[in-house]
Chains A and B, each alone.
Chain A
Amino acid sequence: MMCRRLIPILAAIAALAWSGSARAVDQAIVDAAKKEGEVVWYTTLIIDQYVRPTVAGFEKKYPGIKVRYVRNNSTETTIKIINEAKAGKLQADLFDGTNTSEVLKKEGLVEAWKPDSAKDWPADVADPQGWWVATNVYVLTPGYNTDLIKPGTEPKTYDDLLDPKWKGKMVWNGSVSSSGGPGFVGNVLISMGQEKGMAYLQKLAGQRIANLDVSARQVMDQVIAGEYPLALQIFNHHTVISAKKGAPSAWIKMEPAMVVLQVASVAKGAAHPNAAKLLLDYMVSDEGQKFFRDADYLPASPRVEAPDPTLKPEGGHFKANVVSPGELEDRMPKWKQVFDQYFR
């Protein structure tokens, strides 16, 4: 399994980007979905930035189908679905997350289905068997406070982070996810290999990095507020969203960066399977993907351009390790173990 693929996703996909409009959804699904009348969506996406506009757009396009949503993080979403299924009371029809689909696939709780709108997407962003389809792309890099660190003096390489002047100044979150310390550890191990990577991490541990128990978004906010000058593993588009509002925030093109996917799947045994499929299709359709673009996120669709293409490896010309949902699920326990060993 090649994990180190310094391939820009979109460069390959760019060739595929054709001007043709998305395919229409199968009318049978639309009819069946209307009969079901509603769909329950367990989401990890941010309500005001993405979920609400999408629900409004979907309900307008398909009147008579009501979307009910619950927001939790990936772990809580997964626990809920497993528990509900065990009890035979599955509520969720559709769910998403960076680390939900692969776990639930193992539990036999995912219905393989590939949306029509993603039929021509490459395997990177739409699982060929249809276990999941990506809704958007996350690029993980360090970020910093431009008031506290003068642009130009920020650390530019992994070795720069070992400089004693950063001791006690760095922060990440300790959650078991790609957007936390374990994700950073994983990216180092992928890039440098086991031996060199472990040696590097041991040195980095001496820098006493603060572990927060909040999302990567909140980690960046603490940096913007001035609590810490430098965050190691954050979503680079967040720094841009904040900078647009005037916040002293910027991201660092530290190579290689890490790229992961936010994916969505239909729950097996869902009460409203057709409505779930219809909503999933809507999310990856050009219309649905534009909501990501409008929120300054990075759409997964090859057909919808990111608002700032330089955030992506191919647009910004930087190297990145693309870690698929399956690889993430396989390797995370090991990364977490190394993280605990050095950074807890």
Chain B
Amino acid sequence: MTAVDRIPVPRSRERLTQTTVATWVLAAVLAVLVVPPLLLLVVGSMTGPEGDVTVRYFARVFQDRRLAESLTNSILFALGSATVALVVGGSIAWIVERTNAPLKALAYLTTIISLGTPYVLYVSAWLFLLGKAGPVNSLWRDLTGSTDVLINVYSLGGMVMVEGFLWSPLVFLLMGATLRNANPELEEAARMSGATVWETIRRVTLRLSLPSLLALALLVFIRALEGFEVPALVGLPGRVNVLTTDIFLDMHARVPPDFGHASAYSVLLLIVVAVLLGFYGRLSRSAERFATITGKGFRPRPFDLGRGRFLAAGIVALNFFLLLVAPTAILVWASFLPFYQTFRVRALSRLTLHNYEVVLGSTHYLDLVRNTLLIAAGAATVTMAITLIVGWLAARRRAGAWLLDQLATVPLVFPGIVLGVAVMQIFLRLPIPIYGTIWIIMWAFVIRYLPYGMRYSYAGMLQVHRELEEAAGVSGASQFEALRRVVVPLLTPALAAGWLFIFLLGARVLSLPILLAGPDSQTIAVAMYDLWTNGQGPELAALGLLWTVLMTAIAAAFHVFARRNSIAT
């Protein structure tokens, strides 16, 4: 995206002014959001305790004997997770959006519910399932008489699997939006020329989706590289250290923690990501070649898989079972127990409703629900509004748009906990009294989710050929009218998916609220984390399931609304 290969010639001075003003205003907004934490990191990584300039933190990062091992683990973990997420999410998306396989509704159900499930709940469900004492290993021991385990989830392989599963719903949603709007003409042409389904996928569909695939792979790769929950809960007990857990251990080694070292690490991560993004920019330079929604009609028609559709449905059902039924079942089991233990007949006599009574009887949780919904909805709305316009300017390669795109992508480099500390320090220094309120959490969320919003807006925008806007322009619409009346309606599925994704992520993420929440701005995720660390697993399961039901209801309502809207346009 860094290269501007074609700068459109403005047709009138008025139009030039409109987009230029918009570009500058957005650049200012993004700069205010993104630059201060970045600056704080760079300065922090080079400032010693006495305010002196130093390279000691970088030196320490490189001298660490574990760096090579952790780096290797990090890269394997990120690559593996991206692969699992793309393969699982991508194949489900293709089956659901482009074929006539039955049981599609199961895929949506799985996705929506798992996106509404807080990480800590999801990861603990997987650990319940695959742990040494979990049903899978118990069954194995009963069947074989072995005293060992079949699956050791506390390993790199286990981490990859859990993280890959965690991200596959995102891939499904994004790929789904891309595939749904892809013009089927080329695929139909391939089929008519005698290509098999597989050949068509390989030579047409996959190639046309290349920019979205790469963008997604990069997104999951980077997210896994800086991911913390799975490395901490799964990797640490198995002594599989990655970069983020090294940093975490370092930050907890002393009080106050060593932010110089954490900042140095973040700056290095920033450089790595910048390089990756540079590659990505080159790849997508000719992205316009991939635009398939043109001025011509684009109603996609599904593939007829013949008998293969039952196999496809089987894959969807398996995905549904693995990602939804099994984790939910074990959580339901846990939520009725006074303390967690794996399924056995003896435990049946202990089943109790106590956990649900506690959760439903508490007014405290009601306040948390209100806070959480406000923060998540606010952050999602602001983020999508900003990225809609940035994505549009970037996709249309307006002058200065690459700067906007870079600014909106930078937050990818912040590990959550580091961003939390940076934002906290910024508002402690500024005379703006939002420290300890829900507004500071919302502020941090907007920064964190800009790149995600961008992927949704930009990927969607790439598919809408500019000739539609040009047609609007010829008919007398200004550029913003064209955006509002032509592009936005076409993009509704992508925008809605983006909003929903950020909303659900905001409602479940922990690393920012845990640092930024004050007495009156606690969120549900923080409460769940407390329950987990305090060993109230069963109460966590009850609260988590009730919360997931609420989130699912919201997500489903939204999904129905968005789909109806996109069909109506």
Contact = CB atoms under 8 A, between A and B. Distances in A.
Contacts of A226: 132-133, 341-342
Given A221-B535, A245-B338, A246-B350, A213 B233 contact: yes
A38 to B, nearest CB: 9
B257 A79 contact: yes
A215 B535 contact: yes
Contacts of A217: 533-535
A48 B533 CA distance: 13
Contact of A221 (B248, B257, B537): B537
Given A87-B429, A227-B131, A242-B339, A211 B532 contact: no
A137 interface: no
B550 interface: no
B32 interface: no
Interface stretch (B217-225, B471-479, B514-522): B514-522
A48 B517 contact: no
Interface in B446-500: none
Interface string A240-278: 001001111000000000000000000000000000000
B232 A221 contact: no
A: contact size bracket: 35 or more
Interface string A203-247: 000000011111101101100111110000000001000100111
Contacts of A220: 535
Contact of A91 (B233, B245, B436): B436
Interface string A65-93: 00011111111101110111011010100
A215 B534 contact: yes
A71 B526 CA distance: 9
Interface in B310-348: 338-342
Interface string A153-169: 00000000000000000
B131 A84 contact: no
A227 B133 contact: yes
Contacts of A225: 128, 131, 133, 340-342, 537
A68 B254 CA distance: 28
Contact of B340 (A99, A212, A221, A336): A221
Contacts of B364: 52
Contacts of A73: 533
B356 to A, nearest CB: 14
Interface in B194-218: none
Contact of B257 (A69, A75, A224): A75
Nearest to A82: B256
A31 B233 CA distance: 48
Contact of A228 (B132, B238, B339): B132
B252 A218 contact: no
Contacts of B304: none
A71 B522 CA distance: 9
Most buried by A among B233, B252, B537: B252
A69 B519 contact: yes
Contacts of B233: 213-214
A333 B253 CA distance: 8
Contacts of B256: 78-79, 82
Interface in B489-546: 514-515, 517-520, 522, 530, 532-537, 539
Interface residues of B, number: 50
Given A91-B518, A215-B534, A217-B534, A224 B341 contact: yes
Given A70-B519, A228-B132, A238-B535, A211 B237 contact: yes
A215 B255 contact: no
A221 B257 CA distance: 28
Interface string B228-261: 0000110011110000010011001111110000
Given A75-B252, A84-B428, A224-B341, A213 B535 contact: no
Given A211-B236, A247-B339, A68 B520 contact: yes
A52 B362 CA distance: 11
B532 A218 contact: yes
A82 B257 CA distance: 11
B358 interface: yes
B146 interface: no
B425 interface: yes
Contact of B428 (A86, A171, A211): A86
Nearest to B248: A213
A15 interface: no
B534 A46 contact: yes
B365 to A, nearest CB: 11
A192 interface: no
Contacts of B340: 221, 224-225
A215 B533 contact: yes
A225 B534 CA distance: 15
Question: Which among A79, A91, A176, A215 has the highest number of chain B CB atoms within 10 Å?
Answer: A79
Interface string A34-67: 0000001000001111001000000000000000
Contact of B237 (A80, A175, A210, A248): A210
A214 B532 contact: yes
B165 interface: no
Contact of B358 (A48, A70, A228): A48
B139 to A, nearest CB: 14
A269 B154 CA distance: 46
Given A86-B428, A221-B339, A224-B341, A213 B236 contact: yes
B239 A224 contact: no
A174 interface: yes
Q: Which 4 A-B pairs have the closest CB atoms?
A: A226-B133, A87-B428, A68-B519, A217-B535
Given A91-B519, A211-B236, A248-B341, 11 more contacts: A75-B255, A87-B435, A91-B518, A212-B236, A224-B339, A225-B131, A226-B341, A227-B131, A227-B132, A228-B132, A242-B339
